[in-house]
A = this chain, B = another copy of it.
């Protein structure tokens, strides 16, 4: 894929909507594109993480281990960011992310992630919005689950 096409593709990702095309070239150069086959893991709970992923195509399952069994707690689709908790909080991966179909991602190293957020506060805001929305959904699921336990 040409650099021009790569930049055009990055522009379609809402997270980068407010970043100038000239800066997106930097991102196209410094990020890495990876493809995972259906059933492969983008990352595994408990591993150390040094990158976040932006899903360009496909869908993945977010699985958390519980008593030796993996429970699905969310789905991550096109344009979702996954794996940013480990690099933000310096903790091991909090979930396993498994490809439900063939999944293409942009791998953003920890260093690049922090550089992007510092240079582009609008990207930081978009990530905050995504984290806040996921926290909202997870809290709702938790409340429903606790309701079922105390019924």
Contacts and interface: CB of A to CB of B under 8 A. Distances in A.
Interface of A: 64-67, 71, 73, 84-85, 88-89, 91, 94-95, 114, 117-119, 121-122, 124-125, 127-129, 131-136, 138-149
This chain: how many copies in the complex?
2
B88 A143 contact: no
12 contacts: A71-B146, A73-B142, A85-B135, A88-B129, A114-B125, A117-B125, A117-B128, A124-B124, A135-B135, A138-B138, A148-B149, A149-B149
Nearest to A64: B143
Contacts of A95: 139
Contacts of A71: 143, 146-147
Contacts of A122: 118
A128 B129 contact: no
A124 B67 CA distance: 35
Contacts of A135: 85, 131, 134-135, 138
Contact of A117 (B124, B132, B136, B143): B124
Contacts of A144: 66
A145 B144 CA distance: 10
A118 B125 CA distance: 8
A142 B118 CA distance: 32
A85 B143 contact: no
